[in-house]
Amino acid sequence: MLILIVDDEETQRKMLQGFLEKQGYKVLTASGGNEALHIFESAPVQLVLIDHRMEDMNGDEVLEKMRAASPLVRAIMITAYGNVTTAVKVMQLGADDFMEKPVDLMELLEKIRGIEQSFDVQAESTIITESLEQAELPISIIGSSTPMQELLSLVYRVAPTEWSALIRGETGTGKELVARLIHLMGLRKNGPFVEVNCAAIPENLFESELFGHEKGAFTGASSRRRGRFELASGGTLFLDEVGELPLQLQAKLLRTLQEKKVTRVGSETDIKVDARVLTATNKDLKQMVAEGTFREDLFFRLNVLELTVPPLRERRDDIMELIEFFLQKYAVKPTSFSNEAMAQLVKYRFPGNVRELEHLIQRLVTLVRGNRIEVSDLPPEIRESRSRGGHLSDRLAEVEKEMLITALEQHNWVQTRAAEALGISERVLRYKMNKAGIKK
C-alpha cells in the first residue's frame, strides 16, 4: 500500500515515515497541501495521513480535493489534542478515521491495517459493480451490503483462475447468478456456459447427460449425443445441486476432472474435454462426506475455492434496492410501497431468500389495484412477521446492531465516544460494526 504523509512539521513527517517504512509500507511525504495534491496527481496513493492544521491549506480542504479526483482514497486526519469538533467535521468530510497528536504509533498501525483489509474488498467489488453497471455484463446483481461486497471481491479474485470453485448458500440466494458472474469475469467468458442441474436429472440418464452416448448405447439412444462436459469445452460447466450426484457418478466425475477426458456411454474411446467446473450446493457437503454420501476426494477437488452467498436476512441492507430492482423489472405501471409495507418487508426473514422476494414482487404488482402497495396487500406470513421467533443468535444480532447504530448516531459517528457509551473498546466496536455491516 502506498501512503502519503502530509504534514508541515518536518520532524513529525520523518518520524511517521521512518516508522511506516519499517513496517513495510511505501511512503511519500509532502510538506503542505499544494505539494500533496501535486504528488497525488501522479502517484497511485491509497491512503493519506493528513495533518489538519497546515499553513497553506487545511487538511480537510486537501482531502476534499483528493476525494474529488479519486473518491476511493482513504484518509486518516491528524488533529490537535482534544479538537473533537474538527474531528467530527473531518469524519463528515469523508476521512475514514482521525487521530489526536501526539500520534500513538501502535494505534496508527492498527488503523492502517484495518483500512488495508477493507481496501481490497472495496476496490475489487467496485470493478465488478462498474462492469455490471456499464452493461458490459448481461446480468444484474444487487449487492451494496457489506457481505455482498465481500462476496463480489472474492468473485473478482476467483474468476480469472482455472480452479474449480464451490458456491454454497441457501436456496434462492443467487448461487447461479454468482456462477454466471464468475464465468463472465473469467478467461473463458467467450466460451459457453453450460448448466447441469443435478437434482433434475433422472438417475439412469445422468451419465449420458454428463458424458454423452453413442447411438444404440441403451434403449432410446437413437442417435449419438454429446454430453454437457463436451459441450462446455472452452467454457464453464456449472454443476448445480452437486450434492445430489449419485456416488457412482461421483467417481466418474472425479476421473474426468483428473484426466480431463470423458468416455461416452457405449464407447471405448476417450474424448479430451477442457471445461472449468463450477459447482453449487445448498447442502453441507462436509457433513455428507462424514456420512459417506459424498466422496471426500471429489469434495477436495471441487472445493479448491469456496464462496458462500449470504442469506438475505444477513444482508437486509440489500432488500430495499432489490425491491426497487424487481419493481423496475416487473411493474407495468409505476408502483411503490407504503413505508409500513416496506418496513415489514425489511423485517421479514425470507426463508426463500432473493427468489422469494422476486416472486413476491411479481405477484404483488399483478394483484395490486392502485399503484401503492400497503401492508394489507402483503401475504399474512409477512404482514404478521415480527422479529419474534427465529434463532436466538439472529435476534441478539439484531438488538446489538440497533444499539450500535443508536450509539453511533448519538455521538455523531465518533467511534471513540460511541464505544465509550457502549462500554466496549473502540477496536471491539469497529469489529462489531464490520460484522453487522454498519457504515455511516
Ligand X SMILES: Nc1ncnc2c1ncn2[C@@H]1O[C@H](COP(=O)(O)OP(=O)(O)OP(=O)(O)O)[C@@H](O)[C@H]1O
Residues lying near Mg ion in the complex (CB under 5 A) are found at 176, 240
Nearer to ligand X, 104 or 321 (CB): 321
**Cα–Cα distances in angstroms (integers) from residue 24 to residues 21, 54, 100, 197, 305, in the given order:** 5, 27, 24, 48, 29
Burial bucket for residue 3 (CB in 10 Å: 0-12, 13-18, 19+):
buried
175 belongs to the binding site for ligand X (CB under 6 A): yes
Query: What residue is closest to ligand X based on CB?
Result: 174
Nearer to Mg ion, 176 or 230 (CB): 176
- One residue of 117, 140, 287, 410 binding ligand X per CB under 6 A: 140
User: Which of 1, 63, 142, 265 is close enough to bind ligand X by CB under 6 A?
Assistant: 142
User: Residues near 22 by Cβ (< 8 Å), separated by ≥ 6?
Assistant: none
Cell readout for 413 is 459517528
In the complex, what is the shortest distance from the CB of residue 15 to Mg ion, in angstroms, rounded to a whole number? Answer: 55
Q: Which of residues 155-174 bind ligand X (CB under 6 A)?
A: 169, 171-174
Q: Which H or E run includes 75?
A: strand 74-79
355 binds ligand X (CB under 6 A): yes
Per CB under 6 A, which region of 10-18, 175-183, 222-230, 418-426 contacts ligand X?
A: 175-183
Helix (H) or strand (E) holding 53: none
Nearer to Mg ion, 170 or 176 (CB): 176
Integer Cα distance of 9 and 62 in angstroms = 16
Q: Where are the alpha helices (DSSP H) in 242-281?
A: 247-259
Which candidate, 92, 58, 90, places its Cα nearest to that of 77? 90
C-alpha grid cell, residue 433? 460494526
Look at residue 33 and give the partner it binds from Mg ion, ligand X, none, a contact being a CB closer than 5 to 8 Å depending on partner kind.
none
The contact pattern for ligand X, residues 359-398, with x = CB under 6 A and - = no contact, is ----------------------------------------
Provide, rounded to whole angstroms, the least separation between the CB of residue 161 and ligand X.
Answer: 21
| CB of 26 or CB of 283, closer to ligand X | 283
- Are the C-beta atoms of residues 256 and 229 closer than 8 Å to each other? yes
- How near is the Cβ of 174 to Mg ion at its closest, in Å? 8
Judged by beta carbon, residue 278 or residue 298, the one nearer ligand X is 278
Q: Which of 15, 37, 177, 320 binds ligand X (CB under 6 A)?
A: 177
Cis peptide before 71 (omega within 30 of 0): no
354 binds ligand X (CB under 6 A): yes
Shortest distance in whole angstroms from residue 400 CB to ligand X: 25
| Phi, psi for 181 (deg, rounded to 5) | -65, -45
Cross-strand partners of 75: 48
Q: Where are the alpha helices (DSSP H) in 285-423?
A: 285-291, 296-302, 319-330, 339-347, 353-367, 380-383, 392-410, 415-422
- Please provide residue 79's backbone torsions phi and psi, each rounded to the nearest 5 degrees: -115, 165
Choice between 89 and 355, CB closer to ligand X: 355
Q: Which of 83, 161, 282, 335 binds ligand X (CB under 6 A)?
A: 282
- Spell out the residues 6+ positions from residue 148 whose beta carbon is closer than 8 angstroms to its own: 125, 141, 142, 310, 315, 318
User: Which of Mg ion, ligand X, none does 177 bind, CB closer than 5 to 8 A by kind?
Assistant: ligand X
Provide the mask over 215-254, with x wherever binding to ligand X is found by CB under 6 A and - wherever it is not: ----------------------------------------
Q: Which is nearer to Mg ion, 170 or 240 (CB)?
A: 240
Cell reading at 145:
451490503
143 is in the binding site of which of Mg ion, ligand X, none (Cβ under 5 to 8 A by kind)? ligand X
Q: Is the dihedral of CA 204, 209, 212, 213 positive or negative?
A: positive
| Helix, coil or strand: residue 201 | coil
Which residue ranges make up the site for ligand X (CB under 6 A)?
140-143, 169, 171-177, 282, 325, 354-355, 358
